[in-house]
Structure 1
Amino acid sequence: MYSLTVVDHIMVAHSFRGAEFGPAQRLHGATFVVEAEFRAATIDHLHLLIDIGLAKDELRKILAAMDYRNLDAEPEFAGKNTTTEYLAFHIHGLLAAACRDGRMGPGAGQVHGIKVLLRESHIAWAAFEGPVA
């Protein structure tokens, strides 16, 4: 199994609904280091899993839509608690679509799984891992 990981970060503001969240129900900021790991059983004739430059660019485009934003005010997150787990799931879906649509080059067609990990701090993180299809 081969894997290739690219990393970026975002800073967001958000709040959560539900007494379970305690003080996080109030608007607060979060900084996430975002790791996107692409997995494939094979590499191509150039010995590449996926074009690292295109993967970095696509991750940046996805994150730019959230960076320095209040996620509570973004229509795509209306009615959702933008927890670390949910954001990992959301980013995974967008990266998987980019692979399927060919936005990350021909090598993306061999990617069968993506793991998106968001590090909220040095002691807490969450991830979502799933297929591209």
Structure 2
Amino acid sequence: MFTVTVRDHMMIAHSLRGDVFGPAQRLHGATFVVDASFAGPDLDADGIVVDIGLATDELRRIVDDFRYRNLDDDPAFAGRNTTTEVLARAIADRLATRVHDGAFGPSGRGLTRLTVTLHESHVAWAAYERALWTG
């Protein structure tokens, strides 16, 4: 399996509901380093698993939807805690849709897996991995 990872970052604001979150129940900011790893069993005719430039651009477009926003105000997350795990899945699902829509060009057709990792700090992160459907 071949894997290519691209990286971006985002700063968001949010609050988390539930005693388990302690002081994070109050509105606070968070900065995440966002890694998106694209995997496929084969390389295309150009010797790549995915076009790194396209992958970088698509990740940036999706992360821009979150960047510098209070996620408590985002209808997509109404009634849900925007934990690191939830955000990783939201980004992965949006990237998967872009792969399916052909935004990753010809090399994107051979992708089979996607993992999005959100790094909260240098010692803590969460990831979501999913299969990709290709057409």
Tell me which interval the TM-score lies in, with the shorter structure as reference length. Answer: over 0.9
| Displacement of 1:64 | 0.3
- C-alpha deviation, 1:75, in angstroms: 1.2
Gaps of 5+ in 2: none
Match of 1:17 in 2: 17
CA distance in 2, matches of 1:109, 1:29: 37
Shift in Å, 1:78: 1.1
Task: Could you tell me which runs of 5 or more consecutive residues in structure 1 were left unpaired when the two chains were aligned.
Answer: none
Structure 1 moving runs of 4+ over 4 Å? none
Alignment partner, residue 65 of structure 1: 65
Residue type matched to 1:2 in 2? F
Alignment identity in percent?
53
Cα separation, 2, equivalents of 1:89 and 1:123:
20
Quick one: distance in 2 between partners of 1:121 and 1:22? 18
Cα distance between partner residues in 2 of 1:84 and 1:98: 21
3-state DSSP of counterpart to 2:120: strand
CA deviation map 1:16-66 (0-9, x unaligned): 111111111100000000000000000100101111111101000000010
Distance in 2 (alpha carbons) for counterparts of 1:62 and 1:53: 14
Take 2:79 and 2:55, find their aligned partners in 1: how far apart are those partners?
Answer: 30
> Deviation string for 1:74-93 (max 9, x for gaps)?
11111110000111111110
What TM-score do you get using the length of structure 2 for normalisation?
0.96
